[in-house]
Amino acid sequence: MADQVLDVKGLNCPLPILKAKKLLNTMEQNKTLEVLATDPGAVADFEAFCRTTGNTLVESRQDGDVYAFVIQRTA
Amino acid sequence: MTSEQNAKSMSIIVTKGALDQAYPPFILGTTAAAMGLDVTMFFTFYGLGLLKKDLNLKVTTLGNAAMEMPMMGGHIAMPNILATIPGAGALTTSMMKNLIKKNGVASIEELRELAVEAEINIIACQMTLDLFDYKPADLIDGPVLGGAATYIEVASKSDINLFI
């Protein structure tokens, strides 16, 4: 279970990334954030976001129409 | 944003002020800032209007030769000639705003707020202010006034420079 959950279902690029980043900024190192999204573009975008920022994408999965990303703050 | 040392940097020249044309610079700028880049946006000519306190952005078919709108399960072409019909601009603008809402796309006002919040370095072109008779008080708080040299100095040190 992630430390925090961010529901951005229904929102489109770039809001899922921007809102996730904003929340990550408020979290302590090594805490985890689970992002729930419906934007299929978010799959590639969260991978790129984590690679570039140095945060860790612990998990990326799809449950029906919902994409879930677990990000650990490591940057 | 100067949170990280040795962060990569990006600059964007924003020259267009229509509703549809306002999206690419704000989306790329805010996302780059979220990804840790130092971002500068230089607003010049019609792009400067995007810094006005009150936005009333519009979309026109004119000059948008490839424009088509999703409608009734298909796509309807929006030919240039449509722009000559009174009210066509209001129609295309409201169609675009409906699409934006329906698809969960942020408003320009929202993206602009996020840009300011992310400490994007916003430069308002002084020459454009003079040319179109705007006052700094017409603009949102935050922009630095500057000209071509101010931008070039930033661009010469940036990893990515975009003209939109």
CB–CB contact B105 A53 (8 Å): no
Q: What per-residue confidence (pLDDT) applies to B5?
A: 62
Among the partner residues A12, A17, A52, nearest to B105 by beta-carbon distance: A12
Burial of B3 (0-12, 13-18, 19+ CB in 10 A): exposed
Question: Could you report the per-residue pLDDT of A54-68, keeping only the tens digit for each?
Answer: 999 999 999 999 999
pLDDT of residue B2: 46
| Domains of chain B as residue ranges with CATH | 9-57+107-163 (3.40.1260.10), 68-102 (no CATH)
**Contact between residue A72 and residue A32 where contact means Cβ atoms under 8 Å apart:** yes
Kindly report, residue by residue over B54-89, the tens digit of the pLDDT.
999 999 989 888 999 998 899 999 989 889 999 999
Q: Which segment of A41-45, B4-8, B48-52, B155-159 scores lowest on mean pLDDT? A: B4-8
User: At a CB cut-off of 8 Å and minimum separation 6, what does A73 contact?
Assistant: A24, A27, A28, A29, A30, A31, A32, A33, A55
How far apart CA B161 and CA B8 sit, in angstroms, is 12
Reduced to 3 states (helix: H, G, I; strand: E, B; else coil), residue A33 is: strand
CA count, 13 A, side-chain hemisphere, B114: 25
| Residue B142 contacts residue B117 (beta carbons within 8 Å) | no
CATH code: domain of residue A61: 3.30.110.40
How large is the ipTM? 0.91
Which residues in chain B have their CB less than 8 angstroms from residue A49's CB? 34-35
- Per DSSP bridges, beta strands B144-146 and A56-63 are unpaired
**Taking residues B123-145, what's their average pLDDT?**
96
Active-site choice (A7, A9, A12, A13)? A13
Decide: B102 and B70 in contact? Cβ < 8 Å: no
Let me know if A50 is a catalytic residue. no
With beta carbons under 8 A apart, name residues in chain A contacting B30: 14, 18
Question: Which of B1, B94, B89 has its CA nearest to residue B39?
Answer: B1
Q: How confident is the model at residue B119 (pLDDT cuts 50, 70, 90)?
A: very high
Q: Kindly report the nearest CA distance between residue B20 and chain A, in angstroms.
A: 15
Smallest CA–CA distance from A23 into chain B, residue = B34
- Name the residue with tokens 């017409």: B138
Chain B residues within an 8 Å CB radius of A53: 35-36
Q: Number of structural domains, chain A?
A: 1
